[in-house]
Amino acid sequence: MKYDVIIIGGGPAGLAAACGACENGAKSVLIIERAKELGGILNQCIHNGFGLQYFKEELTGPEYAERFINLVKDLPVQISLDTMALEITRDRKVKCVSSTGGYQELEAGAIVLCMGCRERARGAISIPGDRPSGIFTAGTAQRYVNTEGYMVGKRIVILGSGDIGLIMARRMTLEGAKVLACVEIMPYSNGLTRNIVQCLQDFDIPLYLSHTITKIIGRTRVEKVIVSRVDESKKPIPGTEIEFECDTVLLSVGLIPENELTRAAEIEIDPATGGAVVYENLETSVPGIFAAGNVLHVHDLVDYVTEEGKRAGAAAAKYALGEHRSGKVLKVESGSGVVGPVPQLIRLENVAKSQDIFFRVRNIYQQANIRVLDGDNVLCTFKRNHMIPSEMERIRVPRTILNQAVSDRLVLSVESREEEQA
Amino acid sequence: MKQVVCIICPKGCRLSVNENTGEVLGHGCNRGEEYGKNEVINPTRVITSTVKIAGAAYPRCPVKTNGAIPKELVLKAVRLLDDVELHAPVTLGDIALKDIFGTGVDFVVTRSMERAE
C-alpha cells in the first residue's frame, strides 16, 4: 500500500500535518496513532488557554483537539488507531503493527514525524531516598485524575515548576487535595508566568525557587520529603532543610522528544533540542522525512505546534508530488544566551519573504536585543522588553537580510541593551 | 499603579493598572485591557474541571464554565460538580450544571463522548 504522506502520531502536530498535506495536493494521507483515539495529550489537558493564537478564542485542550479531529474527518485522510509504528526507513517505508491489521509495511511519498514527547521521570534526575508508591510524573497524575477518575493523593509536593506541574497544582487543589509546595531548583520558574499567577498565587501555594527535594521518606507510601535550598551550582546547602509531611510527589521536570524511530533511521539529531536537525521547510537530514511539534523541539503553546505541523504537512505533500529542494545552505547556530534554534539549516533559495527561527534564551533578560550575526557583521537586530527561558522566542528574518550573508553561518545571540551602551 | 500579569493568553503581558481610574498600560489586546481592569476591581476566573460520566469510554468528562465567575466562588463552585453525573452520549457544549450560584454562568461539556460498547 502506498500513500502520498504518512504521519506518525495523531496529536496536534499530526492532525495539523494532515490538514497541511491535504491543502497542498496530497491525495492519500495516513495518520498512524498508537492510542485508541486522536488528539494526543490534548485530551487530558482539560484546562483552558489553547487556541488564542490560532482560533482567536480560548479553548480547553479537548475542545482544541475536537476541532482538528472534525477538520480531518472531512479530508481524504485515513486513520489507523491503536497502531504502533515500529520502524521507518530512509527510503520512506513505515513498518507498523495493530491487533486488527497485523504487521504491515507501508510505502510513503513523504513521512512526517509527529510523535510528541514524554516526561522525564525520577530516574532522570536521581532523587535520593526511599522508593515508596506515591511518586508520579505530573502528566501521569493528570491522566489519572482527568480521564481515568482516580485521585492520586491528598497532601502533595510538586517538584519542578514546568507548566504541567503548575496546572496540576491547581487541579489537585480543585479536587480537594492540599498542595503544600512547588519546589524549583532554578532561581526562576520554568512555567509560563500566567500559570504561576493562576495556578499557584490564586490558591496561595508557595513556590520555592532555588530549592530541590533532597530526600523522599516512606516505607510503602510517601510519608514525607526533605526540601533544601541550593547554591549557585545547584548543590544543596546543609542546614536549610524543610520537612513536608505529604503522601504524594509530582514531578514536572522536563520533557524529552520521543525520537526512537528517528534515531533508528539514523536521522541526524540536534543535542540542543533533542529533536531532528531540520531545514527551513522542516525536512530532516533524510530527504522526504519531515518533523513537527514536540518531537522536533518542546513547545509551550499548542498553537505553534499546529502552525509547525501544517508547514511540515505542506512541505511533505510538495515532496511527495515531486518538488525536491536543494541549493546553498546557511547554518543557524546559537551564540551567547541562545539555546536550540530551529530550523538549524536554511536553504536560501527556498525562503519566500521571510524565515521564522525559534529558540529559547538561557537566562531572564529585560530590555535585550536578539542579534543575527554573519561573522562579526550584525545582519539584523530584534528588540525584546522581556525574555525568559520558559517561553519560546521567535524571530522573523526577511529574505532580503538573509541574502546579505557572506559566510554560511548565522549566529543568534542575545545582548542586554545596557551592556550594549557600556 | 498595581502590577498584574495578564492570564488571558499564554503571552503573559505585564500590565500596570491604576486602582483609582482603572486605566491599564502594557496590554497587547482589548481582552487584556478588560482583564487588567477587572483584576483590580472584581477578579473573576473561568473554571475547568471534570464530572462523572456513565456509559462512555472513560469515567470522567471534562467541563468548563461558559463565562468567568467571581474568584471567591471558585472553590465552592467545583464542589457542586461532585453531585453531577452525566450519561453518554454527550456533545461538546451540553450543559452539565446550570446557573452556578445565580451568576447565570453554566458548567458545559468540553468533549463529545460517545456511548461505549
Residue ranges covered by each domain of chain B: 2-42, 48-109
Residue-wise pLDDT for A51-104, tens only, equals: 988 888 889 999 999 999 999 999 999 999 999 999 999 999 999 999 999 999
Find, among A205, A130, A191, A200, the residue nearest to A161 by Cα.
A191
Distance from CA of B62 to the nearest CA of A (A): 6
User: What is the predicted pLDDT for the residue at B28?
Assistant: 86
Residue among A194, A204, A387 with most chain B CBs within 10 A, to mutate: A194
Calculate the average pLDDT of chain A.
94
Residue type, B4: V
Q: Does residue A421 register a pLDDT over 50?
A: no
What whole-number distance in Å separates Cα of residue A40 and Cα of residue A142? 13
| Facing B5 at nearest CB: one of A49, A52, A197 | A197
CA-based angle A123:A128:A130, to the nearest 5? 95
Residue-wise pLDDT for A311-363, tens only, equals: 999 999 999 999 888 888 999 999 999 999 999 999 998 999 999 999 999 98
CA distances from A286 to A214, A230, A327 (A): 44, 43, 16
Distance from CA of B92 to the nearest CA of A (A): 8
Residue-wise pLDDT for A16-47, tens only, equals: 999 999 999 999 999 999 999 999 999 999 99
Q: Does residue A420 register a pLDDT over 70?
A: no
Using the beta-carbon criterion (under 8 Å), do A149 and B60 form an inter-chain contact?
yes
Confidence of residue A418 (pLDDT cuts 50, 70, 90): low
| Facing A192 at nearest CB: one of B10, B14, B71 | B10
Range with lowest mean pLDDT among A252-261, A294-303, B12-21: B12-21
Residue-wise pLDDT for A273-317, tens only, equals: 999 999 999 999 999 999 999 999 999 889 999 999 999 999 999
Q: Does residue A419 register a pLDDT over 70?
A: no
Q: Does residue A13 register a pLDDT over 80?
A: yes
| Chain A residues near residue B7 by CB distance under 8 angstroms | 194, 197-198
Confidence of residue B86 (pLDDT cuts 50, 70, 90): very high
Mean pLDDT of A169-181: 96
Q: So what's the architecture of A2-118+255-325 in CATH?
A: 3-Layer(bba) Sandwich (3.50)
CA distances from B37 to A91, A296, A344 (A): 58, 39, 43
Q: Answer positive or negative: Cα dihedral of A62, A68, A71, A77.
A: negative
Using the beta-carbon criterion (under 8 Å), do B50 and A300 form an inter-chain contact?
no
Confidence (pTM):
0.92
Using the beta-carbon criterion (under 8 Å), do A62 and B110 form an inter-chain contact?
yes
Find, among A102, A92, A212, A231, the residue nearest to A157 by Cα.
A212
Task: Dig out the grid coordinates for A81 from the structure.
Answer: 488507531
Q: Does residue A384 register a pLDDT over 60?
A: yes
Within its chain, how far is the Cα of A261 from the centroid? 17
Find, among A130, B68, A273, A223, the residue nearest to A284 by Cα.
A273
CA distances from A156 to A168, A177, A217 (A): 10, 7, 14
ipTM of the complex: 0.89
Mean pLDDT of B99-103: 95
- Computed over its alpha carbons, how large is the radius of gyration of chain B? 17
A121-251 is a CATH 3.40.50.1440 domain = no
Using the beta-carbon criterion (under 8 Å), do A174 and B74 form an inter-chain contact?
yes
3 state SS of A209:
strand
Q: Span B48-109: which CATH code?
A: 3.10.530.10
Residue-wise pLDDT for A202-231, tens only, equals: 999 999 999 999 999 999 999 999 999 999
Confidence of residue B10 (pLDDT cuts 50, 70, 90): low
Better pLDDT: B9 or A183: A183
Q: What percent of chain A has a predicted confidence (pLDDT) above 70?
A: 99
User: What is the predicted pLDDT for the residue at B108?
Assistant: 98
Task: Dig out the grid coordinates for B114 from the structure.
Answer: 460517545
What whole-number distance in Å separates Cα of residue A56 and Cα of residue A72? 20
